[in-house]
A and B are shown apart, each in its own frame.
Chain A
Amino acid sequence: MYNLVMKDLKLAINPLFFVLPVVLGALMLIPGWLYFIVLLYFCWITVPNIFGQFRAHNDLMFTSMMPVTKTDMVKARVLVIVILELMHMVPAVIFGIINLLLYPDLTYYFFGPYPGFWGLCLVMLGIFNVLFIPMYYKTAYKFGGAAFAGVTGAMVFATLAQWIGIQNSYVSDMFNGSGVHNAALQTSILIAGIVIFAAFTTIAYRIAAKRFHKVEIQ
């Protein structure tokens, strides 16, 4: 499993995609922006590019010929996706903290970079995973439809969450108002986000592994 993860990180993924999250994370410094977009770049840019590379390099055949199980192949790939998601998340959170320090008096129209917002981002990435990963593993090479479904799901969630965040004063207060100073509330939203992300990703892995066992390696 470790070898499979290292294979993707060393061989398959262009180093650009390890640097890009840091650059994109810096977008968190734009005052009062729609910060969901920062993480959506993962779904828009990183995923189509790296999965296109897997296909172009005939990775499916290459990996299938190694002494590895199909289950491990899926597990490793899901882990790689999670690593990349966290690589996008961590710089974004750091730049988010810098944002809060830089603009202490800013009024956020959209969600501000508080812990509760990161919980919502994790739910968004979880939705992306649960749609993209199982759909991709129907063939293990066609990523277009799967990426489209994943991106749509993530964007619909982000739009709805943000719309409610603006329209509903209770939610708005929770994420941008007095709620941001309630550490217990913020932490519990973040933890709920982590739990939902982990649950969705695990479900995605289980369905994908089951589907991948039926795939013929051509």
Chain B
Amino acid sequence: MLALDIRNLSKTYPNFQLKDVTFQLEKGYIMGFIGANGAGKTTTIKSMLNLIHTDSGEVRILGKNIAEHEIELKQEIGYAFGSIDFYTRSKIKTLTDVVKKFYANWDDEIYSYYLRRFKLDENKKIVELSTGMRVKYNLALALSHGPKLLILDEPTSGLDPIARDDLLDLFQSLVAEGEISILFSTHITSDLEKCADYITYIHNGRIINSAEKEEFIESYLLLNGSVSQLDPVKEQLISYKTNSFGFTGLIHAKDFDPSLNVKAARPTLEEIMIYFAKKEDMYV
């Protein structure tokens, strides 16, 4: 069953366009949603949640169309848009008391568990929390009403390495039973290398690739060669950088000709993002 099924989502703004965004997430998996700042991650997420109106396309969550079943689905989705910035002068306790009333499946025990796990003091005001602690509070809220799908926008930004690692472990334990699915957007790609099952990469409002993580990474190769080796591959490269030693460039694995004897290595997600962004600059 698909936890998330996005098809042909399009939205035009005066200076930005979301074009034909299509991707699917199987139930019980973690999908990393990556892209540079302004690539359209948040716009896609907001369209998924019916917060903004799309020009065309369809969003189905847990098999149901969000436009027709918004309220029902919002009970089953936990979302956290980075750190919490609502009613920051209120105490955690006060805000939680208001939020929990909206959810039919709110579980106080789970909420208390996450407060303890995240070392959150209910009597503190939100403004007194650090960015990382605010992210954790937001996650505690998102996790306490029994969500089947978690949509997290930059959940690890602002967290220290230990907290990030703890969170990634938590995500993995959440999906382990196969009931919960997670879509999380980030530009900290190392987090995804640790825990994501699928990667969807958005660039300039378009989905460049959406695939199982290994397949996604293996579909690209990072080439390293001398200046003289650049010319034969130049046309096939997505983009490249040159320096005094030669060049480094990204290529679709299918376009690579091993007979050229250029050194090819497995790129990181970050390198894939960087070279795609560079491609744009080259044509400007």
CB neighbors of B among A38-69 (8 A): 57-59, 61-62, 64-69
Compute how far the CA of A67 lies from the CA of B75 in the bound complex, rounded to whole angstroms.
6
B76 to chain A, nearest CB (A): 9
A10 to B, closest residue via Cβ? B98
Compute how far the CA of A214 lies from the CA of B51 in the bound complex, rounded to whole angstroms.
10
Sorting the interface of chain B by its residue count into under 10, 10 to 19, 20 to 34 or 35 or more gives 20 to 34
How many residue pairs at the A-B interface have CB separations less than 8 Å?
Answer: 57
B99 to A, closest residue via Cβ? A66
Q: Is A218 an interface residue (CB 8 A)?
A: yes
B71 to A, closest residue via Cβ? A67
Q: Is A181 an interface residue (CB 8 A)?
A: no
Compute how far the CA of A216 lies from the CA of B87 in the bound complex, rounded to whole angstroms.
21
Assess A216 versus B102: contact at CB under 8 Å? Given A11-B90, A12-B87.
no
Compute how far the CA of A204 lies from the CA of B234 in the bound complex, rounded to whole angstroms.
63
Asked if A217 contacts B52 (CB within 8 A), the reply is yes
B94 to A, closest residue via Cβ? A11
Compute how far the CA of A10 lies from the CA of B94 in the bound complex, rounded to whole angstroms.
8
A interface size (C-beta, 8 A): 21
A62 in complex: contacting residue of B53, B74, B86, B103, CB < 8 Å:
B86
A214: B residues at CB distance < 8 A? 53
A181-218 interface bits toward B, Cβ cutoff 8 Å, 1 = contact, 0 = none:
00000000000000000000000000000000010111
B102 in complex: contacting residue of A10, A59, A67, A217, CB < 8 Å:
A67
Compute how far the CA of A205 lies from the CA of B51 in the bound complex, rounded to whole angstroms.
21
B49: A residues at CB distance < 8 A? 65
A1-34 interface bits toward B, Cβ cutoff 8 Å, 1 = contact, 0 = none:
0010011001110000000000000000000000
Asked if B101 contacts A3 (CB within 8 A), the reply is yes
CB neighbors of A among B46-71 (8 A): 46, 49, 51-53, 70-71
A7: B residues at CB distance < 8 A? 98, 101
Q: Which residues of A contact B (CB under 8 A)?
A: 3, 6-7, 10-12, 57-59, 61-62, 64-69, 214, 216-218
Q: Which 7 A-B pairs have the closest CB atoms?
A: A67-B74, A62-B86, A217-B51, A216-B52, A66-B102, A3-B101, A57-B87
